[in-house]
C-alpha cells in the first residue's frame, strides 16, 4: 500500500498503463500468429506487423532489442517461403 498521495497516484497510473500496454502486446501476438499461420502472408499484413512492432518499441512497451529480434525472425520466416 502506498504511504503518500503521490505514491498512490503513481500506483493508479501504473495500473492504467499496464492494462493499455497489455492490450498492445496481445494485439502484436495476434498479428504475429496471423502472419505465421497464413499460407502466403500478404505484404499488407507484414507491413502492418512491422509498423506495430516499431510503434510498440518507440513507446517503450517492448524493448528495442526485442523489436529487432521479432522483425529478424519475421524476415527469416518470409525468406524461407512462409
What is the per-residue pLDDT across 38-80, written as a single tens digit (0 to 9) for each? 877 677 889 999 999 999 999 999 999 999 999 999 989 888 8
Q: How far apart are CA 45 and CA 23, in angstroms?
A: 19
Q: For the structural domain made of 5-79, what CATH number should be given?
A: 1.20.58.110
Q: Give residue 39's pLDDT.
A: 72
Residue whose C-alpha cell is 518499441: 57
Q: How far apart are CA 43 and CA 15, in angstroms?
A: 36
Asked whether the predicted pLDDT for residue 26 surpasses 80, the reply is: yes
Confidence of residue 1 (pLDDT cuts 50, 70, 90): confident
Amino acid at each position: 500500500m502506498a504511504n503518500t498521495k503521490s505514491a498512490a497516484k503513481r500506483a493508479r497510473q501504473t495500473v492504467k498503463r499496464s492494462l493499455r500496454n497489455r492490450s498492445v502486446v496481445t494485439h502484436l501476438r495476434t498479428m504475429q500468429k496471423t502472419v505465421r499461420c497464413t499460407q502466403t502472408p500478404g505484404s499488407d499484413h507484414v507491413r502492418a506487423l512491422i509498423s506495430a512492432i516499431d510503434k510498440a518499441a518507440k513507446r517503450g512497451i517492448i524493448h528495442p532489442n526485442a523489436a529487432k529480434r521479432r522483425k529478424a525472425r519475421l524476415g527469416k520466416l518470409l525468406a524461407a517461403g512462409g
